[in-house]
Structure 1
Amino acid sequence: MLVLMTVFTSHASEFVLSERCPPSFDLDEQGKCRLVTRYQWYTSVQDRGVGGTRTALPAHRDGFTPAQIDLGRLLFFDPILSKDGSVSCASCHQPEKGFSDGLGKSVGIQGKRGQRSAPTLWNVAFLDRFFWDGRANTLEEQAAGPLFSPVEMGNSPAQLLSTLNQDPIYVSLFKQAFPDTDGIALESVYQALAGFQVSLISLNSRYDRYAHGHHNALTQREIAGMNVFRSFVARCAECHQPPLFTNNQIAVIGVPEKNGDPFDAGAEATFNAKKLRGGFKVPTLRNITLTEPYMHAGNFESLEESVEFYTKGRGHAVPENETLQLHWHIWEPNLTREEVLLIVEFLGTLTDESLIPAIPDKVPSGRSVTQALQVQSTLFTDSQARTAQGEE
C-alpha cells in the first residue's frame, strides 16, 4: 500500500491546474476569466451585413475559472473519455488542422465513419447553435453528442463516470476545479470541456490588424479580394459576416453530395421544418485555409472549388428529385476567374493561431495523447480498405 501511494503521489504531482487565465482573458475579482478584445470597443453593427470592418462582436460566453479551463484542456486531449480509450476530442478537432480533422467525414472508435465533417472550434464562445444541423444550443449540450455517439467516442454516461471516478488524479483535479461538487458529475465534465472551448479565440489575423487601422497588413490583391467578398455582387459577407465571418444561421445553399452519397436533409430533422431541408449552419471562415475539405461532408476539396460553386448558378447542383427552398442570397454573381482567385487570396488573411493552446505532454489517465491525435487517419485508411474489400 505504501508503494502504491508513493507512485500515485508522484504521478499526481505532475498535474497542477493553472491559476492563470488563458491569453486574451483577464481574471476578475470573482476569480473568473473574462475575454478582452479590441472589438469590444466598437458598438456599431449597422455595417455588419455588408462586411463592415469595425463592427462589434455578438454576445459571448466566458466566466470560467482558470482551473476549470485547464481541466477541460486535459479532458479534451485525454482518450479516457472514449469507450475503448482510443480517441479523444482532439482526434477530430486537431489544433494544427484548425481544430478540425482534415476529413470529409470524421472517424470515431473502431474506424466508424460519421455522416459529416468535424467543424472548427475556433471562436465557439460567440456561437449559440452547434453541430452542422444546429441541434445543440449550448456547448455543454454539444459535448454530450460525441461522447455518447456510437460512431464517435462510443461511451455511455455510466461508464464515463465510473472510469473518471476510479481515477484518483481526476477526482483530485475535479475537486480543485469544482470545489462545491462531491465526486465527478457529468455536468462538471461538460462544463470543463465548454470552458476550454470558450478559450479558443482567434481574432488577431492579418485581416484583424487591417480592420483595426493597420492598412499595410494586407497586400493590394488581398484588399481587392476583400472588396469582392464584401460587394453586393458576390454577397459573401451577407452570410459570412465580419468579424466572425459567420452569422450563425442555417442556410440552404444546394451543395451537392460527394461520391453519390445519399442526400443529407440537414436541419430539416432538427427543426421539423421542410423549408430547412438541405440546410446547414453557415460556418466561420476563420482559419479556413487549415480546415479543408469544405462544406458539411467534405463536398469540395479546395477553397477555389468552394468559391466557384457560388458562381455556377442558383440551384445548379440540386438533385433532380429534390425541391429545396434555397437561401435568397444564393443567386448568379457570374464572378470572373480572377475574382474567384482574389476571394481565395483574401480568405488566407483570416488565419490566426497566435492563441493556440498547449497540447499536454501527458494526461492524467496515462494514455497516449499522440496516438489519439494520429489514430483517426489510421482508422480511416483501414476503414477504406475494408469497404473496398466488401467488409462493410
Structure 2
Amino acid sequence: MNRIFFTISIFIIGIVFLFVFLFDKTPTAYKKFQDSNNNYFSLCATCPPGFKLTKENKCENVNLYMQYDSPNNKGLGGLKIGLPEVRDGFSPQQMDLGRYLFFDPILSSDNKISCASCHNPELGFSDGKAKSEGMNGAVLERSAPSLWNVAYLKRLFWDARANSLEEQMQGPLFSPHEMASTSEEILKKLNLSKEYRQLFREAFGTKNEKDSIQMNEVFTAITAFETSLISLNSRYDQYAHGFANALNEKEIEGMNIFRSFVARCAECHTPPLFSNQQIAVIGSPEPNADFFDEGAQETFNDATMRGGFKVPSLRNIEKTAPYMHSGHFKTLKEAIAFYTKGRGHAVPKGENLYLHWHIWEPQLSDEEVERIHDFLKTLTDETFMPEIPKKVPSGLPIS
C-alpha cells in the first residue's frame, strides 16, 4: 500500500513539473534571478526621493529652497535664502549603477576597499576615524569628509584641489595609498563581469553587447549616485520653512547665537548649505606637533592660504565625529569650544599664519556653547538615505 502511494505521489510531482515547464509564463528577468542564486541585478527606472523624472529620463532635484532667491541676491541674514546651483540631470539608471559601484570593492586593486569604506552611510558618509585608512591599513593624511549635499559643492577635498566630483574620485581611486588602482585594471575587471556589462548598457543606452565599458562612464555613474545624497529635511529646515514648533526654545536660542555677530558661526557656515565654500585659515591644532598640514597653500601656491582648508558643511555634523581636517577634536562640543578660546591660540610655534578675519575671541560662555551644540544637532537629516545593496554585481563582500 505504501509502495502504491509512493508511486502515485512521484507520478503527480512529475506531472506538476512538466506542467510548469510547458506553461510557465514567469518573466525572463525573474527566471534569471532564480537561476543565478539571487545574483541578478537590474537598475531602478525611477528617481531617488527629492528628485523628479523629466521626459528626457533625467532626475532633477526639487526642494523648498528653490522658492527663495540666492544668497548673492538677498544677502545672508535670513532663513529663507536659496541654495547654490545644484549638480543634477543624471538618469535614474546612472544613479543606481553608481550606487552599486560605490559599495563594490572591485574598484580597488585588492578588491577589499570601496568608496563606502571611507564614506560609510551609517557615519554620515564619513568613517568615524581621525584619519582615514587606505591600502594595507595605511594611515592617510586627513579625515574623510561627509558626502551629504556634495551636489552643491564647487570644490572638493579639504584643500579644495578638485573642481568636480569626477575629478575628486580619481584621487582615492588611483592613489597608491588609498584604493591603489588604475584605469586599465578597473576597466579590465568591469569588462570581465557580465553583470556590469549589462548594467552599463542599461545605464548608458547606446551600447551594444560588443561595446566595452569606458572610464568616463564609471566616473559619471559614481557622480550620479553621489549627487543623490541630499539632506535638506532636518528640523532646522522645517523651522526655516515656517514650522515654528520644529525647534524647542534652547535650539532656537542656539540658532540665534550661531547667527549672531558675537559668535559669527554663520558667516562661514552660511545657511542653508551651512558652508560658504571658501578657504579659511583658522589655526586648527595638529595632533602631531612635528607635522603641519599646509592645506590649500599647495593647491593655490599662495602663502596666505597656509594652513587653510575648505569650510565644511555642518549638515549631519553630529554623525561625523571626529572633527577638523585632522580629526583632532573627538566631540562636537570640543570643536565648538575651539572657536571661543581666542584668535590663534592653537597655532604651532614658528608658524605665522594669515588667520581668517572672522576668527576672533567671542568668549562664549559654557551655556552658549551648549546652546550652539543643541542647535547643530537639529541639522541632522537622513530622510533620503539610499538603500545599501545587500550584494554587488562583482560578487565580492561589501566592505
Quick check: 1:277 aligned with 2:301?
no
What's the CA shift string for 1:90-113, capped at 9, x where partnerless?
010000100000001000121011
- 1:150 and 2:176 matched: yes
Choose which of 287, 296, 300 in structure 1 pairs with 2:325. Answer: 296
Query: Which residue of 362, 366, 382 maps to 1:337?
Result: 366
Count of equivalent residues: 365
In the other structure, the counterpart of 1:210 is 239
Moved more, 159-168 or 252-261: 252-261
Shifted more, 310-319 versus 180-189: the winner is 180-189
Structure of greater Rg: 2
Cα deviation digits, residues 184-220 of structure 1 (max 9, x gap): 1110001000000000000000000000000100010
CA RMSD of aligned residues (A): 1.6
Give secondary structure in 2 for the equivalent of 1:172. Answer: helix
The within-5 A match list for 1:177-188 is 177-181=203-207, 182-188=211-217
Contact 2:33/2:39 (8 A) holds in 1: no
Q: Which among 110, 113, 125 is matched to residue 136 of structure 2?
A: 110
- What is the Cα deviation at residue 319 of structure 1? 1.0
Task: Using structure 2 for the length normalisation, give the TM-score.
Answer: 0.89
How do 1:212-231 and structure 2 match up within 5 A? 212-231=241-260
Instruction: Give the percent of matched residue pairs that are identical in Structure 1 and Structure 2.
Output: 59
Kindly provide the CA deviation profile for residues 249-289 of structure 1, in whole angstroms up to 9, marking residues without a partner as x.
Answer: 11110001014350000010011111111010100000000
Q: 145, 154, 160: which one pairs with 1:128?
A: 154
- Tell me if 1:264 matches 2:290: no
AA of the residue aligned to 2:95: I
Q: Counterpart amino acid of 2:112?
A: S
Query: What is the match of residue 380 of structure 1?
Result: none
Deviations 1:225-248 (A, max 9, x none): 000000000000000000010011
Q: TM-score, normalised by structure 1?
A: 0.90
Aligned to 1:280, the other structure's residue is in SS state: strand
User: Structure 2 matches for 1:234-273, cutoff 5 A?
Assistant: 234-260=263-289, 262-273=291-302
8 Å CA contact 1:50, 1:230 repeated in 2: no
Preserved CA contact (<8 Å) 2:158 2:310: yes
Q: Secondary structure at the match of 1:251?
A: strand
Structure 1 residues 192, 337: closer, same or farther in 2, change over 3 A? same
Amino acid at match of 1:352: D
Spell out structure 1 runs of 4+ moving beyond 3 A.
6-9, 46-51
Q: In the aligned structure 1, how far is the partner of 2:131 from the partner of 2:230?
A: 25
Aligned to 1:317: 346
Equivalent residue, structure 1, for 2:12:
none
Instruction: Tell me, in whole angstroms, the C-alpha distance in 2 between the residues paired with 1:268 and 1:8.
Output: 56
| Structure 1 portions without partners, runs of 5+ | 1-5, 373-392
What runs of 5+ residues in structure 2 fail to find an aligned partner? 1-31
2:261 aligned with 1:232: yes
Distance 1:137 1:296, change over 3 A: same
In structure 2, the residue matched to 1:101 is 127
Partner in structure 2 of residue 21 of structure 1: 47
Distance in 2 (CA, whole Å) between partners of 1:230 and 1:46 is 18
User: C-alpha separation between the residues in 2 aligned to 1:46 and 1:87?
Assistant: 41
Q: How many Å apart are 1:68 and its aligned residue?
A: 0.2
Equivalent residue, structure 2, for 1:10: 36
Deviations 1:11-53 (A, max 9, x none): 6862000000000100011110000000001115269765521
Distance 2:157 2:225 in 1: 18
